[in-house]
Homo-oligomer: A and B are copies of this chain.
Amino acid sequence: MRGEKMDKSTLYFILAESALEPIPTEFKNHPKLQRYAKKQKKSPESIIFDKSIHSFLINDPKGYEKRGRPDLVHISLLSILGTPLCKTGRLKLFVHTANDLIIQIDPNVRLPRNYTRFVGLMSQLFETGQVPPKGSSLLSIREMTLKELIEEIKPKYTILFSETGKEIELMKFMSRAVEYNPLAIIVGGFPHGKFSKETYQCANEIVAISDTTLDAHIVVSRVIYAYEIAMKTK
């Protein structure tokens, strides 16, 4: 019985406002970018924006605090995809980007562990819209807001994990949250700062798992583990 129950449950997991995008359009004609792209033998459009590499483009960091961190998205995705929950097909994974794109990731994808290869794959995804380019996709990309995604997947309950939320004891909280099926969980895919008003409005509840700031990959690891435990004892 317990097994049956578990099979019917799906956890929707969304990394929201993620710092994953090609080089922003405002830099497209920047002479430094043109030189960089030439050296890399790439078109400027196909380069994934990484602030630790492309800091030379940014004169004023204002407005870029939450952007250009594909490394953070990478480690968060590996922390999700490696869990038993994901490996057994009971998690559906979406990356919402700061530019309102939704990347759907097949839980069976073998995402490159190597960062350079991951960035190469993301570059291919932004160019072609899906990977592999033909047939059923492992990664696909659509123009869509987070609100539209939530309206499409229709979760019974949506929980946003944010340091601005009410502090909870995660294991206890999750043991109640799993009563909602399907449940959607949103974690920020960016380094610092608050979510946008639109993101907060997508959630039924906003909670924090710690009184200090934690990296996204730490939050996702703990949330999924707590969910697995809650499902086992449901």
Instruction: Mark A residues whose CB is within 8 Å of B.
Output: 50, 52-53, 69, 71-72, 75, 78-79, 82-84, 87, 112-117, 171, 210, 212, 214-215, 217-218, 221-222, 225, 229
Contacts and interface: CB of A to CB of B under 8 A. Distances in A.
A78 B115 contact: no
A164 to B, nearest CB: 18
A59 to B, nearest CB: 21
B114 A50 contact: yes
A221 B222 CA distance: 8
Q: How many subunits of this chain does the assembly comprise?
A: 2
A87 B215 CA distance: 12
Contact of A79 (B52, B79, B212): B79
Contact of A82 (B52, B84, B114, B215): B215
Contacts of A83: 218
22 contacts: A50-B114, A52-B114, A52-B117, A71-B114, A71-B115, A72-B113, A75-B78, A78-B215, A78-B217, A79-B221, A82-B214, A82-B215, A82-B217, A82-B218, A84-B210, A84-B212, A84-B214, A115-B116, A221-B222, A221-B225, A222-B225, A225-B225
Closest 8 pairs between A and B when the two form their complex, measured CB to CB? A115-B115, A221-B221, A82-B215, A82-B218, A52-B114, A71-B113, A71-B114, A222-B225
Given A79-B217, A79-B221, A82-B217, 14 more contacts: A52-B112, A52-B113, A53-B114, A69-B113, A75-B75, A75-B113, A78-B217, A82-B218, A84-B210, A84-B212, A87-B212, A116-B116, A222-B225, A225-B225
